[in-house]
């Protein structure tokens, strides 16, 4: 399992967010593809993941042995990934993971993706679990990838602006740099 050098730090960092001075937060704007609110540690996937064949929706871990984040759990995280790939059955696996509570709380992509969006939309329609899905510009994607931060996503409406807040922390999971 890939862990960042910081992953062993005191996890209580995450509980102190509200006491952080405002200048340690940074607010970015993206495009909301689905509505919702989420806050959690970042799971940075440098390489695209195909959920079908790549993620175990019961165990909640990345099972694609060729993926740099093999073994990583996505449950409870904000998944940050440049783009998606692979079979359209990935929509089913992602929706199943969201249903099981083993999927990410929120998703940030650099390139819009129909298969990811479909999984998120169906989970929202069937189970009323609303996972915010955001597309951000290249420069903002880099800032999000580089930041050691807890991420907060707020998408009040589907197809509006999404607010992405980076709250300084040292909780990034999976160390690879996104490209």
Partner 1 sequence: MLTLSAHDRAMLDGGLGPGVALAMRIVTRIANVMSARELIAVTSAHIDGCLYHGATSLDFVERFVQAGTKVVIPTTLNVGSLDLIHPELYRGPASAGKAAHRLMDAHVELGCESSFTCAPYQLKHRPKLGEQIAWAESNAIVFANSVLGARTNRYGDFLDLAAAITGRAPYAGLHVVENRAARIVFEAPDFSVLPGRDIFFAALGLLVGKEAGASVAAIVGLPLDTTEDELKALGAAAASSGAVALFHAVGITPEAPTLDAALQGRAPMRTVAVSLEDLRDVRRKLNHAGPGEPLVAVSLGTPHFSVAEFEQLLQLFAQYSGPLRCDFYVNTSRYILWLLEQAGAAEKLADRGVQIVVDTCTYITPVMKKMTGLVMTNSGKWAHYAPANIGVTVAYGSMSECVRSAFEGKVWFDEQIS
Quick note: the x/- pattern for partner 1 over 17-56, rule CB under 8 A, is ----------------xx-----------------xx---
Element (H, E) at 115: helix 114-127
Residue 125 token pair:
């329609």
Q: For the chain, what is the largest distance between any 2 Cα atoms, rounded to a whole number of angstroms?
A: 44
Catalytic residues, by residue number, are 87
Q: How far is the CB of 26 from partner 1 (least distance, A)?
A: 27
d(CA 56, CA 100) in angstroms, rounded, equals 11
Neighbouring-strand partners of residue 3: 173
Single out the residue of 158, 165, 175, 176 in contact with partner 1 (rule: CB under 8 A): 158
> Residue 22: which residues within 8 A CB-CB, separation 6 or more?
none
**Residue 93 touches partner 1, criterion: CB under 8 A:** yes
By the criterion CB under 8 A, which residues form the site for partner 1? 33-34, 52-53, 57-58, 85, 87-93, 95-96, 99-100, 112, 114-115, 117-118, 121-123, 125-126, 158-159
């Amino acid at each position: 399992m890939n862990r960042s050098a910081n992953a062993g730090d005191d996890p209580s960092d995450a509980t102190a967010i509200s006491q952080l001075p405002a200048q340690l937060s940074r607010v970015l704007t993206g495009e909301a593809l689905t509505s919702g609110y989420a806050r959690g540690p970042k799971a940075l996937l440098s390489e695209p993941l195909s959920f079908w064949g790549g993620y175990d929706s019961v165990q909640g871990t990345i099972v694609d042995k060729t993926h740099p984040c093999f073994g990583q759990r996505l449950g409870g995280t904000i998944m940050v990934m440049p783009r998606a790939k692979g079979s359209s059955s990935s929509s089913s696996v992602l929706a199943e993971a969201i249903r099981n509570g083993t999927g990410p709380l929120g998703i940030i992509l650099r390139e819009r993706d129909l298969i990811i969006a479909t999984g998120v939309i169906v989970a929202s329609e069937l189970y009323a679990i609303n996972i915010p899905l955001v597309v951000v510009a290249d420069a903002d994607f880099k800032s999000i990838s580089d930041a050691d931060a807890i991420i907060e996503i707020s998408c009040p409406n589907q197809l509006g602006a999404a607010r992405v807040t980076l709250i300084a922390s040292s909780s990034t999971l999976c160390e690879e740099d996104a490209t």
